[in-house]
Amino acid sequence: MQVMQNAAAIGVGAEDDILGKAKANTWDGLSRMAFAANWDPESAIDWNRSIELGSIKEGWINILHYFYEGEWQGLEIIQRLMNQAAHMYKINEMVTYYSTQCADEAKHLFVFKKYLHKLNSPPSKQKAFDPLVWISTSGPVKVERWILATYFTETLAGAIFQRTLELETIDPIGKEMIKLQLKDESRHIAGTKLGVTTVLDHCGPVKTFFLKLWWKVFTRLAVMEVRRLKPYGDQVGMDPENILQRAYKKMAELPDFKNIYLQDSFSKVFLG
Ligand SMILES: [Fe+2]
Ligand SMILES: [Fe+2]
């Protein structure tokens, strides 16, 4: 019943705070929410309308290309690591949940691609070998690094989508496409919170020490990437610093994570 209430809650008042509404705190609960909230990318959006973007067109298209690439990498990394994570932690339900996240990310790729095609700017062909995916899925503590990294990337996506819905310049198809994705991302953030909690519960001091070092390097590179979007952000009215602040505030909602990973001066700049 609770699950159904949560699923229903996600369907209404979407702009207010979709990110706050995915409350399920079990893997199976989140999987059921995903089943209940399933949407068809072909029919959930009326694709027959034209897209008018005016002066924001170039900036918006560039942000979407960045997203398309990120969704693809995210999907590939989940597929490579979800079974390893479930085996490592002996939690079978993780596979069920992450398979719903795979389906979601595949839908996100579908709508981004369709939208970009309508704008005559199709996404570039995916590389057969992606060094970032390779680094993310190889080497020591890859499962832990993946789960922590997705806490950053999922909260970041949520913050960018939230900001997009506030912008008057984005066309109705774009808004609908982002609203549907934000509902999914809110669940992904809830799932990642479960994942991060699992990681924290299983990490001793030595592993935590190395993961903290890695986190420092990873977040600096990731923040640099987000800041590189500033010229496009300026065109559409999206300030990377504000996006980063929102993402960090969201990550800080897990007190144990905050106490271990967000205590350095770099993180505190965004937490205010
Ligand atoms: Fe996504
Ligand atoms: Fe996601």
Compute, in angstroms, the gap from residue 23 CA to the centroid of ligand 2: 16
108 CA to middle of ligand 1, Å?
Answer: 5
**Which is more confident, 220 or 25?**
220
pLDDT in tens, 147-204: 999 999 999 999 999 999 999 999 999 999 999 999 999 999 999 999 999 999 999 9
User: 176 CA distance to ligand 1 centroid (A)?
Assistant: 14
Confidence of residue 135 (pLDDT cuts 50, 70, 90): confident
Residue 11 has pLDDT above 70, yes or no: no
Distance 107 CA to ligand 1 centre (A): 8
Reported confidence tier of residue 19, pLDDT bands at 50, 70, 90? low
Assign residue 43 the CATH number of its domain. 1.10.620.20
Query: Which residue, among 190, 144, 168, has the nearest Cα to 238 in the 3D structure?
Result: 168
Q: How far is CA 37 from CA 154, 164, 181, in A?
A: 18, 21, 11
pTM of structure: 0.90
Q: Could you tell me which of 181, 204, 211, 199 has the C-alpha nearest to residue 254?
A: 199
For residue 12, what pLDDT band results from cuts at 50, 70 and 90?
A: very low
Host domain of residue 146: 2-271
Look up residue 70 and give its amino acid: G
The domain tally of the chain equals 1
pLDDT bucket at 60, cuts 50 / 70 / 90 = very high
CB 235 within 8 A of CB 59: yes
The CB-side HSE value for 14 (13 A sphere, CA atoms) comes to 21
Which ligand places an atom closest to the C-alpha of 155?
2
Residue 237 DSSP class: T
User: What is the C-alpha separation between 186 and 190, in angstroms, rounded?
Assistant: 6
Q: Where does the pLDDT of residue 75 fall: very low under 50, low under 70, confident under 90, or very high at 90 and above?
A: very high
pLDDT given for residue 10 in this prediction = 38
pLDDT per residue as tens digits for the range 83-128: 999 999 999 999 999 999 999 999 999 999 999 999 999 998 777 7
The contacts of residue 151 (CB under 8 Å, 6+ apart) are 192, 193, 195, 196, 251, 257
HSE-up of residue 231 (Cα within 13 Å, Cβ side):
4
Contacts of residue 92, defined as CB under 8 A and 6 or more positions apart, other chains included, come to 86
Question: Which-ligand-closest: CA of 110?
Answer: 1
- Cα torsion for 111, 114, 116, 118, to the nearest 10°? -140
Q: At 165, list the tokens.
A: 């819905």
Ligand showing the shortest atom-to-Cα distance for residue 106: 1
Looking at 13-27, 56-70, 122-136, which range is the least confident one?
13-27
Please give the average per-residue pLDDT across 191-218, as a whole number: 96
Residue 6, pLDDT > 50, answer: no
